[in-house]
Amino acid sequence: MDIKDIIKPENIVYKKTKLFTEKPLSYCPGCGHGTAHRMLLEVLEEMNIYSDTVGIAPVGCSVLAYEFLDIDMQQAAHGRAPALATAVKRLMPDKFVFTYQGDGDLAAIGTAETIHACNRGENFTMIFINNGIYGMTGGQMAPTTLPGMRASTCPFGRNTEIMGNPLKITELLAQLPGVYYATRQAVHTPNAVRKTKKALRNAFEYQKLKKGISFVEIVSNCNSGWKMTPNQSNKWMEDNMFPFYPLGDIKVPQLEKV
Q: Which residues contact another protein by CB under 8 A?
A: 50-54, 56, 63-64, 66, 69-77, 80, 83-88, 90-92, 95, 112-113, 116
Report the residue number, 20 or 242, with the smaller CB distance to another protein.
20
Closest to another protein by CB, 179 vs 199, is 179
> Which residue lies nearer to another protein by CB, 69 or 133?
69
Nearest CB to another protein, comparing residues 107 and 141: 107
Instruction: Say which residues have a Cβ less than 8 Å from residue 46's Cβ, sequence separation at least 6.
Output: 201
Smallest gap from Cβ 94 to another protein, in A, equals: 9
Quick one: which of 47, 62, 120, 66 has its CA closest to 89? Answer: 120
With CA atoms as reference, report the closest residue to 149 among 141, 158, 162.
158
CB of 78 to another protein, least distance (A): 9
Min CB(26)–another protein separation in Å: 10
Q: How far apart are CA 192 and CA 190, in angstroms?
A: 5
In angstroms, what is the minimal distance from the CB of 143 to another protein?
18
Q: Name every residue whose Cβ is closer than 8 Å to that of residue 120 and which is 6 or more positions away in sequence.
A: 86, 178
